[in-house]
Structure 1
Amino acid sequence: MVLIADSGSTKTDWNTLNLTDVLQNVQTVGFNPMYQETEDIFEELNKSLLPHLNDKNPSAVYFYGAGCSSPERNKKVADALQRLFPGSEIHVDHDLLSAARALCGHNPGIACILGTGSNTCLYDGSKIIDNVPSLGFLLGDEGSGAYLGKLLMRAYFYRELPEELAQSLKNTYHITKDEFLDTLYSAEVPSRYIATFAKFAYDKRKHPVIKEMIYANFENFFERHVLKYKGHMELPVNFVGSIAYFFSDILKQSAQKYGLHIETIIQSPSEGLIKYHQELLEKFGTPNKV
C-alpha cells in the first residue's frame, strides 16, 4: 500500500491505494514549507491525518506540495513524514511534478497549472526537463486567477470598465479602493485574495470587455510560457486547475491562435496521480520506482 498526497497551501488530499483500488481518502489542511517548519507539519499530521488512516504503515509516501521547490524545503516535509511513518520510503516533490504526472502520465507533454497562480513545465514522461520560471504574484502568474483578478480590479479602479460592469462589480463587492488595498496588502496570501475576483469575470464572461480581458490573460500566458518550450507545436498541452477548468472554452479558443493542441483539462490532479502510481505498481511491483 502506498500513500499519495497532493498538497496546496489551503488543503491536502491524501489517498492510500494498492494495485487496483483506492483504499481510503483523507483531507487535511494544506502544508507549505515556505511558511511552516518540520515540527509544525508533524504535529498537524499527527493530529489530523494519522488517526484516520486504517493502515498506518504504507510502504511508500509520495508528497507533492506547493513550495516544495528546493532540497531544503523538501527536507522539512520529508523529516515530518519520516517521523510519522518510520518504516516508509518518503518522496517529496513539487506540485508541478504532480500536475505533469497527473496530466501526461508516462508520456511526454507540456503540463500547465492555472489556478490561483500559474506554472508550466516540459515533461519527458518521467521527469521535468524544462521549466519557464513562474515569477509569482507580483511579477508573473499570467493565466491565473490572481492575474485575471488583477486585470479586472485595475480596470475597475482606473475607470476603464463600462458603466454597467462597474456598477455591477460595485454592487457585488461593496468595496472602496482603500478597503481593497488594505485587504490586499495585509492578506497572508495576497494572490489568493485577488484571485477571488475571478469569479466576477466568470459570471460576466460573455460581456465583450470581460471576454477580451480573459483572452488577454491567456494570451500573455501562452506567449510568456508555453511558446518558449521546444516542440510546443507538436506536443500536447495539458492543464490542471480551476481557472483552466472553468474557462476551458476561452482557453481552447486562445490556444488555437497559436496552433497549440490542448489534450487534457482537469480541475484536480488526484485522479491522474492515482492512475500514474497504480501503473508504476503494476509495472515494477514496488512503490519506489519513480
Structure 2
Amino acid sequence: MLLIADSGSTKTDWRWIASNGTVAACQTDGINPYYQTTDQIRNTLANQLLPNLPADAITSVFFYGAGCSGPSVNGLVEQALWSVLPGAESVNVASDMLGAARAAARHSAGIVCILGTGANACCYDGAQITRGIQSLGFWLGDEGSGGYLGKTLVRAVFQRTLPADLIDLFQNRYQLDRPTLLDNAYKKPNPNRYFASFTPFLGEHQHHPAVQTLVTDAFRLFLQTYIQPFPESIEWPIHFVGSVTYYFQPLLKQAVEQAGLTMGCVLKAPIDQLVQYHQTTN
C-alpha cells in the first residue's frame, strides 16, 4: 500500500492507495522540520495519522513537505515516519516544491509556481527540479503571495490610497487600528499568516477596479521576479499551485498573458494530482 503526503506548516493532506487502486484520505496537523523535532513529528503521526490508516501494511511512503529542503531536515521526517511505519520498504521525503511540480507538470517540462501564504517557483524537467529562485520570505520577498497581497491591502487602507468605499468596507469588517496592526506585524509570530488572512477580502471584491489593479500589479511583480529571469519561460508553460492562484485565476491569467507567457494548469492543492502521478509512475 502506497502512502502520499502533501504537508505545510498548518495542515498535512494524506492519501493511501490500496493494491486494488482504491484511494482513502485523512488530514493531520502540519509537519515542518524547521519548527518541529523528530519527537514532535512522531507524536503527530502516531496520534493523528495511524488511527486512520487501514490494517493493511504501508509498503512505500512519499512525503512532500514545507521545510524539507535538504538531507538534514528531511532526515527528521524520515526518522519519524520509519518509527511509526516500521514495516515500510521505502520512505521518500522531498520538498513541497517538487510535489507541486510533479502534480502540475507530471512528466513534462515546465515552470511551476506556488502562490499560497508564500511564493516560490522552479524549473522542472519532467523528473526533477533543475533550478529555482531562492525565496527570501515574507519581509524581503514573497511577491504575489497571500501574505504580500494582504500586506499591500492593509498598507493601502492605512495610507488611504484605496477608494473610500473599499476602505469603509474593510474597516467595517475588521475594525483594525494602527496599534493592533503594528503589534501583529512586528511583535507576534507568523506575520505572513496574519497578513494573508486579509486576502479573502480582496477575493470577495476582485471585480472592483482598484482591487483588480492591486492584485494584477502583484502578479506582474511575481512574474518579473520569479519567472521571467528563467530563459525557459519563453517556451515552457507556467503552472500554478496554491489557494491564491485558484481564487484569483482570471487576474493571474491576464497578467501571464500580458507578459507574453504561456498559462499552464492551476491547482488549488496538489494532493490528488500527486496520487495520479504516483499511480502512473509506480
Shorter chain as denominator, the TM-score bin is over 0.9
Structure 1 residue 65, shift from structure 2 partner:
0.5
* TM-score where L is the length of structure 1: 0.94
Q: What amino acid is the match of 2:83?
A: R
Q: What amino acid is the match of 1:229?
A: F
Structure 1 residue 230, shift from structure 2 partner:
2.1
Q: What amino acid is the match of 2:201?
A: F
1:235 to 1:170, Cα distance in 2 relative to 1, 3 A: same
1:56 to 1:18, Cα distance in 2 relative to 1, 3 A: closer
Whether the 8 Å contact between 1:50 and 1:56 is mirrored in structure 2 is no
Runs of 5+ unmatched residues, structure 1: 282-290
1:1-290 to structure 2, matched below 5 A, reads 1-18=1-18, 21-55=21-55, 57-88=57-88, 89-281=90-282
1:150 to 1:76, Cα distance in 2 relative to 1, 3 A: same
Structure 1 residue 143, shift from structure 2 partner:
1.1
Range with bigger deviation, 161-170 or 180-189: 180-189
Runs of 5+ unmatched residues, structure 2: none
Whether the 8 Å contact between 1:255 and 1:261 is mirrored in structure 2 is yes
Whether the 8 Å contact between 1:28 and 1:48 is mirrored in structure 2 is yes
The whole-number CA distance in structure 2 between the counterparts of 1:260 and 1:57 is 45
Q: What amino acid is the match of 1:44?
A: T
Describe the SS at the equivalent of 2:234.
coil
Structure 1 residue 20, shift from structure 2 partner:
5.9
1:57 to 1:149, Cα distance in 2 relative to 1, 3 A: same
Structure 1 residue 187, shift from structure 2 partner:
3.6
Post-superposition Cα deviations, 1:83-134, rounded to whole Å, max 9, x if no partner, equal: 1112321111110000000000011101111111111110000100010111
1:20 to 1:124, Cα distance in 2 relative to 1, 3 A: farther
1:257 to 1:19, Cα distance in 2 relative to 1, 3 A: farther
Could you tell me the percent identity over the aligned residues?
43
How many aligned residue pairs are there?
281
The whole-number CA distance in structure 2 between the counterparts of 1:144 and 1:54 is 37
Post-superposition Cα deviations, 1:230-257, rounded to whole Å, max 9, x if no partner, equal: 2212111101111100100010011111
Describe the SS at the equivalent of 1:49.
helix
Q: What amino acid is the match of 1:37?
A: T
Structure 1 residue 203, shift from structure 2 partner:
1.5
Describe the SS at the equivalent of 1:232.
helix
Q: What amino acid is the match of 1:75?
A: G
The whole-number CA distance in structure 2 between the counterparts of 1:188 and 1:250 is 31
Q: What amino acid is the match of 1:77?
A: V
Whether the 8 Å contact between 1:65 and 1:94 is mirrored in structure 2 is yes
Q: What amino acid is the match of 1:241?
A: G
Whether the 8 Å contact between 1:20 and 1:278 is mirrored in structure 2 is no
* TM-score where L is the length of structure 2: 0.96
